[in-house]
Amino acid sequence: MSKNFFGTDGVRGTVGNDPMTADFSMRLASAAAQVLVPKGGTVVIGKDTRLSGYMFESALEAGFVAAGADVLLLGPLPTPGIARLTQEFDADLGVVISASHNPFFDNGIKFFDRTGSKLTDEVEKKIEEQLKNRAITLESQSLGKAKRLRFQRYRTVF
């Protein structure tokens, strides 16, 4: 099975066009949670400074929390920093919202495993397979929680 959404470096495209929509992002988070943290876990989400990143951050947060994962929102940080903080916070999954050097009207979503490494093609294919199903919402007692972290001069404030 070939991949339909994941490219060389995550999912990318022009904001507002498939797959870079809020709806797809929520479904992507749900699918990723079901494949990578089906019994709950911790996901860190960071982004670059593109305006659309705020929309995607909220959609990803909703998808992960609805699927039972706890989310730590890191805010704007460089991609390598998010990979590193995935390890530092002992998270199960890291997510970066960025289209790197692409124009401002593009954006992307990239995943890191718990070691801060890119997901394998095999795992990305499993997520794409799960995307064929509807996003899930667990019962209230099983939902995840989200927390925004603030970084102040070499000190993390929770």
Domain that holds residue 74: 12-134
Residue 82 lies in a domain: yes
Please state the pTM of the whole predicted model: 0.93
pLDDT in tens, 1-31: 678 999 988 999 999 999 999 999 999 999 9
Number of domains, the chain: 1
The predicted-structure confidence for 125-135, as pLDDT tens digits, reads as follows 999 999 999 99
Domain with 90 in it: what CATH number? 3.40.120.10
**Domain assignment present for 146:** no
Residue 117 is a catalytic residue: no
99 within some domain = yes
Give, for all 158 residues of the chain, the pLDDT tens digit.
678 999 988 999 999 999 999 999 999 999 999 999 999 999 999 999 999 999 999 999 999 999 999 999 999 999 999 999 999 999 999 999 999 888 899 999 999 999 999 999 999 999 999 999 999 999 999 999 999 998 765 555 55
Per the residue annotation, which of 2, 30, 58, 100 is the catalytic one? 100
pLDDT score recorded for residue 1: 60
Looking up tokens 């954006």 gives 107
Look at residue 49 and tell me if it is in a domain. Answer: yes
Residue 104 belongs to some domain of the structure: yes
H or E element: which one contains 60? helix 52-66
The Cα 148–Cα 98 span in angstroms is: 18
Look-up of token digits 């997901």: 119
The answer to whether residue 54 sits within a structural domain is yes
75 lies in a domain? Answer: yes
- Assess if residue 64 is contained within a domain: yes
